[in-house]
Amino acid sequence: MSDTAPLTASPPTSAPSDAATASRNKLVLGLLLVSAFVVILNETIMGVALPHLMDDLDITASAAQWLTTAFMLTMAVVIPITGFLLQRFNTRPVFMAAMSLFSLGTLIAAIAPGFEILLVGRIVQATGTAIMMPLLMTTALNLVAPASRGRTMGNISIVISVAPAIGPTISGLILNVFDWRWMFILVLPIAVAALVLGSLRIQNVTTPTKSRFDVASVILSALGFGGLIFGLSSLGEAAASGSATSGIVALVVGAVSLVIFILRQVSLQRADRALLDLRTFKSPTFSVSIVMLAISMMALFGTLILLPIYMQDVLELDSLETGLLLLPGGLISGVLAPFVGRIYDRVGPTALLVTGSIILSGAFWFMTTLNEETTVPFVLGAHIAMSIGLALLFTPLFTASLGSLKPSLYSHGSAIVGTIQQLAGAIGTALFIAVMTATAASLASDGASEVTATAGGIQAAFVYGAIISLFAIPAAFFVRKPAESADGAHRPPLAH
């Protein structure tokens, strides 16, 4: 039995029911896209604010980055549960739960008196965000015919890549006038309005099915993902304290837990009870796309956490200048996404992915040369190049990976894509900060000034990113457009 009752866009006819269905589908997808944009925007809104928060709350860079890392980590833990939610419940109640949690988290963050409560607010926000993205993905797969998915996924790519990219810009604009709490105060009424509008207008477009909730899988996923991210973050802090024991222990616990989690899913999926059905990886296109998506998300979130620190602590730009400097890249990604979707529908993913991965890697190698003498136009050009590369990657990866699955695996595929996306983003953030902190501490101990040490740490982090980005280039040649039958219906890959 399918995880959800698949619905595909009906061919155009003069029947009123078909016209009504098309109108309903367009409204549902539109409301989900707008709501998803609002919630995903908050994923990176803290980037530019970190230096302000470090001063205002008297915390270190390694502690402050948890406001972003914990957000992504929470999503990586919660998103696997959405596979169950999307099977068990209708579209409207799942949407209302997501936006209610996000609105509550935004309120908590807005009134937070200190770091601990602010972190709680971010975690609650992330819980709602985690539900929203798989809901959007799965709904789009169910409602849109395969021949038009590239264009739809292009719109979804705007949410996934542009919203995080312009988060720092909006943050910088707000911080230029208000304190950091206003980043949440201004978002709150928008979130509440989306909740009210969605509760009134969104209709149910899937049929729930009975499925069991495996508590052990949730616990194992939390230990696995949490251990890996906590371990990486702790290793960064160890550069100052000199003790890496807790980080190493966390990494070991995380790795062991993930292995047990995977084995449990393989066992449970035989009876269709897995929290994450790993049979999605029987599709070679899905597997390769996941690897490339992980590299892309590490690049995006690692860069979005490092560049604001570099611009403010090394180039001595203020928060507004930093936000505005990151804006062109975000806007270019948004402009390109729909066109990339149309190109995908015509020619498939390979040319787009090869070009995008080469541009992304080239941008990273450019950023390995950043230092105290680097000019602002150089930084701007490198960020724009990276944004173009990511714009060419995201839409083909989402469309090809999920389109290669059987309809019965759509919800699991969406959950896996979301989980890997957030886990990779969290790893990229933690890894880049860890390398930066360790290298900067080493340079400072050798007598380098604070600015020189920070620039050296950021340069070292980008070297790691540049090396990782090289692996995406050969992988791009192995992603193929999912096969379709003559009438345009989806034909599952032979691997299934």
pLDDT of residue 238: 59
Find the mean pLDDT for residues 133-141: 81
Fold entry, domain 17-476: Growth Hormone; Chain: A; (1.20.1250)
pLDDT of residue 170: 81
Find the mean pLDDT for residues 248-257: 90
3-class SS at 3?
coil
Residue 260 — very low, low, confident or very high, per pLDDT cuts 50/70/90? Answer: very high
pLDDT of residue 402: 86
345 neighbors 150 (Cβ within 8 angstroms): yes
Share of the chain above pLDDT 70, in %: 89
**Highest mean pLDDT, choosing among 141-155, 160-174, 266-280:** 266-280
pLDDT tens, residue by residue, 201-233: 777 766 667 767 788 888 998 888 778 777 776
Between the two ends of the chain, the Cα-to-Cα distance in Å is: 15
* Residues, the chain: 496
State how far the Cα of 433 lies from the Cα of 29, in Å rounded to an integer. 36
Question: Cα separations (Å) of 202 from 21, 157, 189, 311, 419?
Answer: 13, 21, 19, 42, 25
**pLDDT(113) > 80:** yes
Lowest mean pLDDT among 152-156, 354-358, 491-495: 491-495
**pLDDT(488) > 50:** no
pLDDT of residue 108: 95
Question: Cα separations (Å) of 387 from 290, 304, 353, 363, 425?
Answer: 19, 11, 14, 9, 15
Residue 420 or 108, more confident: 108
Phi, psi of 403 (to 5 degrees): -70, -15
State how far the Cα of 310 lies from the Cα of 325, in Å rounded to an integer. 12
pLDDT of residue 205: 64
**Highest mean pLDDT, choosing among 118-132, 330-344, 481-495:** 118-132
pLDDT of residue 1: 38
Write down the pTM of the prediction. Answer: 0.76
**Mean pLDDT taken over the chain:** 81
Q: What is the CA radius of gyration of the chain?
A: 22
Residue spans of the domains in the chain: they are 17-476
pLDDT of residue 3: 39
State how far the Cα of 163 lies from the Cα of 44, in Å rounded to an integer. 8
